[in-house]
Structure 1
Amino acid sequence: MLHNATCAKIGSPVEGDMVATHPATWILIDRRAGYLERQIHDAIRDRVLAGQLVAGERLPSSRALAAMLGVARSTVVAGYELLRAEGFVTGRAGSAMRVADLPPPPDGARPAPLPRVSPPEPEPERFLPFRPGLPDLDSFPHEIWSRCLSARARHLHIHDLGYRDENGLPALRQAIVDHVTRARAVLADPEQVVIMPSTAAILALLARVLLPATGRTVWLEEPGYRTAHDIFAAAGAAIVPRPCDAEGMTIGHDDPAPSIIYVTPSHQYPTGVAMSLTRRIALLHVAAAHEAVVIEDDYDSEFHYASRPLAALQGIDRADRVAYVGTFSKVLAPGLRIAYAVLPAWLLAQVRPILRREGGSVPIHVQAAMADFLNAGHLRAHVRTMQRVYAERMTALCDALATVTENMLCVEPVAGGLQLPVWFRDQRIDDRRVAHALQDRGIGAMPLSPFHAATLRSGLLFGIGGATDRNIAHLSSVIERNWPFYGISTS
């Protein structure tokens, strides 16, 4: 049974007529999934293909079915029109819709859907306060972005509407180079920039291109970004976890030679540690020696609170081995769906044919609007504002957790980023259970143990984007009232 599902239930058939009766067992509406007309279409289509609705059977009227499902009549009409356009039903608006006279489907059945597998760790809802990686969406510059977006939607340049430039809009690629050169000391030409909808999409593309050609061994940080682990594992990589210490990823000289090294050196995810310059140089030596590609994920490098961050790893690479990856999801909003990579020049020849065939999937007017947003200095202004806000929230969250948990957690502020890792002093505590209980009470913290592939550590990861005074007060209240029920004693 789907969540928030509504079932249709139809009364007795009209005498002398065949009516599609009792769809309560098969028309299920999941309102959270959206596209209700498509859900109605799919349910009826599947019954027709399975032979469970036969030629000539009359479907309920759009008005009756809408009342039974609790949806607008126009939604049912739209679903019926899709079915009619595809030839599954006959009729016209205002008259009865009947199942079309179709040849029987081929023998056999569609494979049963795979059983739903529970995620390996509790996944908080998208907008829960303290969800890691979620910026303060209330501070998003709605008015400025709307002006940029609407202007470009109305007045795109003619040459931007064609099929050229599979890497992305030239104006945006130039604006990104200007931004990362100034802010992160990246050394690049606009031709090296690739625009895609997410960091995950970029990682999947690089895994697809690099692993068959260079070998299968991928070094990943431990603990590290679970999505990167899953992407490389799905591509057939042999994962080698490399532990992180106070200087970032350690360099393993006895491990299998890497073909890809994935790192978050600006502030390691999820620990927040910045990779030291000595460790960065050692990593580049390893990459050069083994002709490996270093994927530098600089996902929220804009926010550093204690001091100016070290320059990007890419900027000190002289062997052309670093692929620099950035996104506007953390600094602005995930819903923008704009990420970018600055690739080594030699890698472009392998990436471009794939982009030419499959496209980058970021709408052209959105790319143009982002170019205008960057060129006008709006991103720099937003970062300056949020730098101060996030620094204050990081301090306030650390103080609150240190107070209400009574030393059950090791709480130390990190120098930047949008998340705060805290570790249980008693490593026997089940952090998944605690995180799930917090999520049930409106707190989007995540457990830290799933970020590990080898040696597990128990803790919680809090996002600071939504760490307002009000939300921190709620967090403190939840912990004070419910902490003992998680199997934890604060006495």
Structure 2
Amino acid sequence: MEPVFPFPVVLPPRSLGMLTQALHQQLRAAILDGRLPADSALPATRRVAEALGVARNTVVTAYDLLIAEGYLIPHKGAKPVVASLVRRRATKPSKARVDIEESRFAPVWRGPFVQASAARALPVRSFRLGIPDHRHFPHDVWRRLMSRALRRSSREPFAYAPSEGIPALREAIARHIAFARAVACAADDVIVTSGAQQAFDLIARLLVTPGQTRVAVEEPGYPPVRAAFAAAGARLVPTPVDDEGLCVDRLPADVRVISVTPSHQSPTGVAMSLRRRTALLEFARRHHAVIVEDDYDGEFRFGGRPLDALQTLDCDALVFYIGTFSKSMFPSLRKGFVVAPEWARSGLVTVKHCADSHCDTITQSVLATFIRDGHLARHVRHMRPIYAERREALLDGLHRGLGEWLQPISSEAGLHLAARIRDHRLAAKIMPTILRCAPGAEATADYAMTRDIEPAVTFGYGVIDAGDIAAALKDMRRALGKGAGR
């Protein structure tokens, strides 16, 4: 039989009971797209029913819906015709039109600090930052715990979980960070979030008065932190970083929030000295400011005893301590936490409730068991020497083959390491070669709000083996030696 429409109509199986809805939606889309032009008559309902193999009432009902919605004009004793409508735009809108559409955004969402960066296509084994190695994760343990949690959830009533996180996970996190990072807290101090990024966002919403609150951020520093505070309407104050961490003496007296990565600065990798830590706490106390401490990969230490967290040293309830499981476990878990001062806890929970009510309970339950039964601690212990070997291969290659161009920046923790370009005059010439030979590595300038920073490059070693590191750095040495670095 000849098609009744100038396009295919695909209907679901009769058993699904969705025939009328499917026919209605496809005819409506065809009218909006111009495939059924204005003033054209639709085929008779009996003919459509025979062609599609459905009951005539199915077609009649679909037509009636289109008439009721204004897409068809009925004619007594004749076939309905397509109404004259403004068609959906089939072509890509012009640049001018895009500008008009974007002007509807609140100004902050058109700013440079809140725009999402496009994911880059990189080799599986690369120098990309912030990604742990999945090959050594105890997937079998995680699957077993997940299956157990799913079985248990099927016997529990549907309900909203606490916005601050389920008690079992908050208790597990409190015990874990007390053991791993000497952060003294109780379960009541912990608020579970959807990764560290949501933690930044919640704190920014709680503490920032749009257009007024000045927030100090590291320069260079972690872009998503800037994005969270900028989106909340903060006035950002880029503050320099040197080999001792944030330059406290460069902080303006009127900043009210100070964001830092003291254990492993992002992206330079330096640790904030004890002198600077105490100075920062004193500054915050004296100027009525608060500190947001991001300890994103502090579990992985390769030197001596780590310096105490700012939260541990804090005697005045000024520090919000943020942690995440994206580096110690895997990013798609989307679980982080805030250890909040008592005075801020209820407000932060209220903001969390307004933002997304609560994190999903299944993975919260699995993570709580994973931590409580010691699997996380064992995994971190297992990964530490693996990452240490890669770090040593990176340092060895930088010192032996690339010392003429690059100087490693002292770092004793985390999953990345940075190196300065010795001759600043060569930076623009050799940086493209470095980044080409080390896919995934990033220039520290990409982490800065200004361009007035020391040229350096940051290498991640979370997903690249020691042998691959050595080979890539040898290629880099040959490329720079052939003239790119002369």
Give the Cα–Cα distance (whole angstroms) in 2 for the partners of residues 253 and 407 of structure 1.
Answer: 32
Please name the residue that 1:103 is paired with: 70
CA contact (8 A) 2:127 2:440 kept: yes
Amino acid at match of 1:138: R
CA contact (8 A) 2:166 2:364 kept: yes
Please name the residue that 1:281 is paired with: 278
Please name the residue that 1:450 is paired with: 446
Displacement after TM superposition at 1:156 (Å): 3.4
**What does the per-residue CA deviation read over 1:211-258, in whole Å, with 9 as the maximum and x for residues that have no partner?**
028941001112211121122122221111221122211113661411
Please name the residue that 2:121 is paired with: 125
| 2:162 aligned with 1:165 | yes
1:419 to 398, 416, 419: 416
Give the Cα–Cα distance (whole angstroms) in 1 for the partners of residues 351 and 345 of structure 2.
Answer: 10
1:344 to 331, 337, 341: 341
SS at match of 2:424: coil
Give the Cα–Cα distance (whole angstroms) in 2 for the partners of residues 158 and 228 of structure 1.
Answer: 40
Please name the residue that 1:465 is paired with: 462
Give the Cα–Cα distance (whole angstroms) in 1 for the partners of residues 475 and 118 of structure 2.
Answer: 18
Displacement after TM superposition at 1:282 (Å): 1.5
**% identical equivalent positions:** 34
| 2:342 aligned with 1:355 | no
Alignment of 1:70-109 (within 5 A): 102-104=69-71
Distance 1:48 1:395, change over 3 A: farther
SS at match of 1:129: coil
Aligned residues: 422
| 2:211 aligned with 1:221 | no
Alignment of 1:172-211 (within 5 A): 172-211=169-208
* Structure number with larger C-alpha Rg: 2
Give the Cα–Cα distance (whole angstroms) in 1 for the partners of residues 272 and 360 of structure 2.
Answer: 35
Please name the residue that 2:379 is paired with: 382
Give the Cα–Cα distance (whole angstroms) in 2 for the partners of residues 292 and 228 of structure 1.
Answer: 17
**What does the per-residue CA deviation read over 1:393-419, in whole Å, with 9 as the maximum and x for residues that have no partner?**
111012123344351111345211100
Please name the residue that 2:393 is paired with: 396
Amino acid at match of 1:424: I
| 2:140 aligned with 1:143 | yes
Amino acid at match of 1:471: D
Amino acid at match of 1:489: A
SS at match of 2:270: coil
Q: Which moved more, 1:351-360 or 1:295-304?
A: 351-360
**What does the per-residue CA deviation read over 1:286-329, in whole Å, with 9 as the maximum and x for residues that have no partner?**
22223222110000000110112112111121111111100000
Please name the residue that 2:6 is paired with: 19
| 2:484 aligned with 1:489 | yes
TM-score by length of 2: 0.76
Distance 1:361 1:138, change over 3 A: farther
CA contact (8 A) 2:415 2:462 kept: yes
CA contact (8 A) 1:218 1:237 kept: yes
Alignment of 1:305-316 (within 5 A): 305-316=302-313
Displacement after TM superposition at 1:147 (Å): 1.4
Q: Which moved more, 1:162-171 or 1:174-183?
A: 162-171
2:231 to 219, 230, 234: 234
Displacement after TM superposition at 1:479 (Å): 2.1
**What does the per-residue CA deviation read over 1:366-399, in whole Å, with 9 as the maximum and x for residues that have no partner?**
1101000101111111111111111111110121
Displacement after TM superposition at 1:204 (Å): 1.1
CA contact (8 A) 1:295 1:325 kept: yes
| 2:266 aligned with 1:269 | yes
Give the Cα–Cα distance (whole angstroms) in 1 for the partners of residues 26 and 433 of structure 2.
Answer: 34
CA contact (8 A) 1:129 1:466 kept: yes
Amino acid at match of 1:450: D
CA contact (8 A) 1:122 1:436 kept: no
CA contact (8 A) 2:292 2:320 kept: yes
SS at match of 2:248: coil
**What does the per-residue CA deviation read over 1:186-217, in whole Å, with 9 as the maximum and x for residues that have no partner?**
12221221111121111111111110289410
Distance 1:342 1:312, change over 3 A: same
Give the Cα–Cα distance (whole angstroms) in 2 for the partners of residues 136 and 173 of structure 1.
Answer: 26
Distance 1:195 1:45, change over 3 A: farther
Amino acid at match of 1:239: L
Displacement after TM superposition at 1:360 (Å): 5.3
Give the Cα–Cα distance (whole angstroms) in 2 for the partners of residues 168 and 215 of structure 1.
Answer: 31
Please name the residue that 1:8 is paired with: none
Distance 1:427 1:364, change over 3 A: same
Give the Cα–Cα distance (whole angstroms) in 2 for the partners of residues 268 and 358 of structure 1.
Answer: 28
Distance 1:230 1:48, change over 3 A: farther
Q: Which moved more, 1:253-262 or 1:177-186?
A: 253-262
CA contact (8 A) 2:325 2:331 kept: yes
Displacement after TM superposition at 1:153 (Å): 1.3
1:291 to 285, 288, 293: 288
Amino acid at match of 1:283: L
Give the Cα–Cα distance (whole angstroms) in 2 for the partners of residues 400 and 433 of structure 1.
Answer: 17
Distance 1:56 1:250, change over 3 A: farther
CA contact (8 A) 1:168 1:360 kept: no
Distance 1:406 1:319, change over 3 A: closer
Please name the residue that 1:9 is paired with: none
Amino acid at match of 2:454: R
CA contact (8 A) 2:245 2:273 kept: yes
Amino acid at match of 2:153: L
Give the Cα–Cα distance (whole angstroms) in 1 for the partners of residues 479 and 434 of structure 2.
Answer: 9
TM-score by length of 1: 0.75
Distance 1:158 1:192, change over 3 A: farther
Amino acid at match of 2:395: C
Distance 1:479 1:372, change over 3 A: same
Displacement after TM superposition at 1:436 (Å): 8.7
**What does the per-residue CA deviation read over 1:62-117, in whole Å, with 9 as the maximum and x for residues that have no partner?**
xxxxxxxxxxxxxxxxxxxxxxxxxxxx879xxx99x9554259869788556999
CA contact (8 A) 1:195 1:341 kept: yes
Amino acid at match of 2:442: M
